[in-house]
Amino acid sequence: MIPAWNLAGVLPPIHPGEAGHSVSRSPYRVALAEVVEGFSGSAQRVGILQGLLDYRAALHALGIVRGFQWLDGSFMEHVEVLESRPPQDMDVVTFFHLPANETQASLAAKAAHLFIPAQTKANYLLDAYPCILGQPTEPRHVQQIAYWYSMWSHRRNGVWKGFVQVDLAPEDDQVARRMLELVQGGGVTP
């Protein structure tokens, strides 16, 4: 369950009421539909969620179906109150296992636009980064993961905050897409 924004307008880094060493902490492992339900409160947010679902569909079409994503950025904050503006994108790191008979180079040759942050921002409203799982961990991988976790655990003003993790499974997208369609059609209120 995604905790509500706290008084600082962010997801708390540890689930409210839990001890500091609790495993009920950021990144919160949630269903994709829960993200749609909790964060689709404006047309801008719905557009960004549509971009996320379209991006995931493109990854799935390449056979990227095993792994998870970290979701963060101003999208996961109550930025409308904090900065008097809507979110402009969502930050996403996709941790994935390579599909059978694929390499990093073969995927890039098929769909480089899915792995270049400037292009994912233009096409999907996502500041997206890939991270391949199941290969030997190199020092640069540890540095990247530590960077994302440390940067995403704080706002620029130093306030501690949380973020979420969703599974990469395509089945989750069907439910989330139906929910987003209901929101767009006015059938569900976030």
120-157 confidence digits (pLDDT tens): 999 999 999 999 998 878 888 888 888 888 888 888 88
24 — pLDDT class (breaks 50, 70, 90) = confident
What's the domain range around 45? 28-184
- What confidence score (pLDDT) does residue 154 get? 85
- What confidence score (pLDDT) does residue 186 get? 72
Does some domain include residue 46?
A: yes
Does some domain include residue 22?
A: no
Does some domain include residue 17?
A: no
The pTM of the full predicted model, rounded to 2 decimals, is 0.91
Does some domain include residue 165?
A: yes
Does some domain include residue 125?
A: yes
* CB hemisphere CA count around 109 (13 angstroms): 5
Average pLDDT, whole number, for the chain? 91
Residue 55 pLDDT > 60, yes or no? yes
Q: How many domains does the chain contain in total?
A: 1
- What confidence score (pLDDT) does residue 128 get? 95
- The CA distances from residue 121 to 53, 81, 84, 116, 134, in Å, are 14, 23, 22, 9, 27
- What confidence score (pLDDT) does residue 188 get? 55
Residue 31 pLDDT > 80, yes or no? yes
- As given in the structure block, the two tokens for residue 11 are 């997801």
